[in-house]
Amino acid sequence: MNYVLGIDLGTSAVKILLLNQNGEICDEISKPYPLIQEKSGYSEQDPLQWVDRTTEALSEIVAQFDGEVQDIEGISFSGQMHGLVLLDQNHQLVRNAILWNDTRTTDQCRQIYQAIGKERLLDITKNPALEGFTLPKLLWVKENEPDLYEKAAVFMLPKDYLRYRMTGKIHSEYSDAAGTLLLDINQKEWSKEICHHFELKEDFCPELVESHAFVGTLNEEFAKKTGLSSSTKVFAGGADNACGAIGAGILTEGKTLCSIGTSGVILSYEQGGDRNFQGKVHYFNHGKENAYYSMGVTLAAGYSLSWFKDVFAENESFEELLEEVKDVPIGANGLLFTPYIVGERTPHADSAVRGSFIGIDAAHTKKDFSRAVIEGITFSLNESIEIFRENGMEVDTIISIGGGAKNKEWLQIQADVFNAEIVKLTNEQGPGMGAAMLAAYGCEWFPTLQECADQFIRKGKTFFPNKDDAEKYQKIYRLYKSVYQQTKELNEGLKEFRQ
Ligand SMILES: Nc1ncnc2c1ncn2[C@@H]1O[C@H](COP(=O)(O)OP(=O)(O)O)[C@@H](O)[C@H]1O
Ligand SMILES: O=C(CO)[C@@H](O)[C@H](O)COP(=O)(O)O
């Protein structure tokens, strides 16, 4: 029996899966690492932590593995998107990585529009200039840390840096490159026009490959440290949302995904790069060759819940925190939460807005707040579904993955708020499964990714919308939608008091 490893370099942790040829999970290990948040709006990580935690996790997997280590045939990756990693000429790190949920770059987004023009940027990249994307981060470093910028010889995305440290080879791949604002997503090449505008040398952007491309084998040093064989094949991998989609079988038109991790996304498969959402949702290359996906993003989905838990229920598990949610009626006894705790992306690209609890009553207890938090996150994701529906897409069945799919009350809330059937997968492992599938496909275990999905992905319980409950949620959703406009100005006024 042969095996593959899927490495999901998430925001909260690296999660590694060992899968056999039947798609059965033989081992899984997760190692957390911290966020570095020096100021409000800043979010960084030390890339060396990614490498060290991955090395530890792989060593543990190998130590627990009772087969022949040479039978672990391939490795691939899924990575948190958009993060900027800068290397100098000797391929040493220049600074910490600036992550996708860092929103310090509002001025740089403005500069991008001034230099390229909004319409032209949309033509080339299919996406607007958002604080979370990579190019604005690069311009921020240029403006604020010119000495460090001078030293930078190449930029990388998080999982591409990890792969470089495992193989010694530098590459980028289309699904993650699509989130940089430097890729011409239809031509599948770094945009000369954008690079030229910002004086980026040609070799500043790594060579582009497909997600399933074989990029080399493990280097001797990494193999020795982990106990893996140096003949293990390494495949490029994909952006975490592309991999989440692969791992959930979102490989044909009409399929929709809801993923609640640190961020939350509603993602829809696109066969071509030609649908026009005018930048209202993101549009990226898929991890499947020559395919795309569109997606709306809630910046702090799972993060809102983990923030709430850390601040108000530090010693409780997520299960304990959500235990009593079922005893609270729809609408959390009149309490409404907006999850804008680090700003928002879809539908409000706004880095200054912040979250709110509206309607706090002396009778409310913690369980009302817990329910309000998960309802609010779900309302925010519903705003992305609304955009898809307004653009003529039918969204009647949604595969739900990520930490948020672990709780059955929340899955039912998704069904009722989205007014769609919600399918849970039995072997749901989020993006790590997609990464492992890219390795399995790369190893030629299957002629297509679809055949790999047919073998590996198993559907579990379906949650059906309840008509009465869906109607109640519609009413509250209308109120939810008005909170953004009504609190926008207040939040701008409060901005100067944030640290
Ligand atoms: N048992 C649970 N029930 C509901 N939500 C959960 C549970 N466990 C984790 N979560 C949510 O899932 C999030 C983490 O999801 P995950 O997919 O692991 O994230 P990431 O890939 O961003 O690191 C947490 O922030 C939390 O809000
Ligand atoms: O910024 C985006 C997508 O545009 C995020 O989805 C990141 O890719 C991080 O994902 P998670 O850690 O929440 O999985």
> 253-284, pLDDT tens digit by residue?
999 999 999 899 999 999 999 999 999 999 99
H/E element holding 13?
strand 13-20
- CA nearest ligand 2 atom 6, residue: 263
Neighbours of 345 (CB within 10 A): 28
Q: For residues 391 and 401, what is the distance between their CA atoms, to the nearest angstrom? A: 24
Binned at pLDDT 50, 70 and 90, residue 450 comes out as very high
Tell me the mean pLDDT in the region 373-402.
Answer: 97
306 lines ligand 1 (CB under 6 A): yes
Q: What percent of the chain has pLDDT over 90?
A: 96
Mutating to test ligand 1, I would choose from 305, 310, 319, 424 the residue with most ligand atoms within 8 A of its C-beta, which is 305
261 lines ligand 1 (CB under 6 A): yes
pLDDT above 80 for 428: no
Structure tokens at 355: 């979250």
Binned at pLDDT 50, 70 and 90, residue 330 comes out as very high
Distance separating the N- and C-terminal Cα atoms of the chain: 55
What is the model's pLDDT at position 209?
98
382 lines ligand 1 (CB under 6 A): no
Q: Which of 156-160, 425-429, 449-453 has the lowest mean pLDDT?
A: 425-429
Backbone angles phi, psi at 183, to 5 degrees: -100, 135
What is the model's pLDDT at position 194?
98
Domains of the chain: 3-241 (3.30.420.40), 249-427+466-499 (3.30.420.40)
pLDDT above 80 for 408: yes
What is the model's pLDDT at position 401?
95
Q: For residues 495 and 40, what is the distance between their CA atoms, to the nearest angstrom? A: 10
Q: For residues 99 and 263, what is the distance between their CA atoms, to the nearest angstrom? A: 12
Is pTM beyond 0.90? Reply is yes
Question: 81: annotated binding-site residue?
Answer: yes
Q: For residues 222 and 203, what is the distance between their CA atoms, to the nearest angstrom? A: 26
Q: Is 240 a catalytic residue?
A: yes
> What's the residue count for the chain?
499
Q: For residues 53 and 175, what is the distance between their CA atoms, to the nearest angstrom? A: 24
Tell me the mean pLDDT in the region 153-180.
Answer: 98
Binned at pLDDT 50, 70 and 90, residue 202 comes out as confident
| Catalytic site residue from 184, 240, 350, 368 | 240
Tell me which residues have their CB closer than 6 angstroms to ligand 2: 10-11, 80-82, 100, 132, 179, 240-241, 261-263, 265, 282, 297
Tell me the mean pLDDT in the region 366-386.
Answer: 98
273 lines ligand 1 (CB under 6 A): no
Q: Which amino acid is at 88?
A: D
Backbone angles phi, psi at 12, to 5 degrees: -90, -25
Binned at pLDDT 50, 70 and 90, residue 430 comes out as confident
pLDDT above 80 for 105: yes
Tell me the mean pLDDT in the region 366-392.
Answer: 98
pLDDT above 80 for 26: yes
Radius of gyration of the chain (CA): 22
pLDDT above 90 for 117: yes
- H helix runs in 201-258, sequence order: 220-226, 240-247
Tell me the mean pLDDT in the region 415-432.
Answer: 93
Q: What percent of the chain has pLDDT over 70?
A: 100
pLDDT above 90 for 460: yes
What is the model's pLDDT at position 228?
98
Binned at pLDDT 50, 70 and 90, residue 109 comes out as very high
Widest distance between CA atoms in the chain: 64
Tell me the mean pLDDT in the region 10-17.
Answer: 95
Binned at pLDDT 50, 70 and 90, residue 429 comes out as confident
- CA of 396 from ligand 2 middle (Å) equals 24
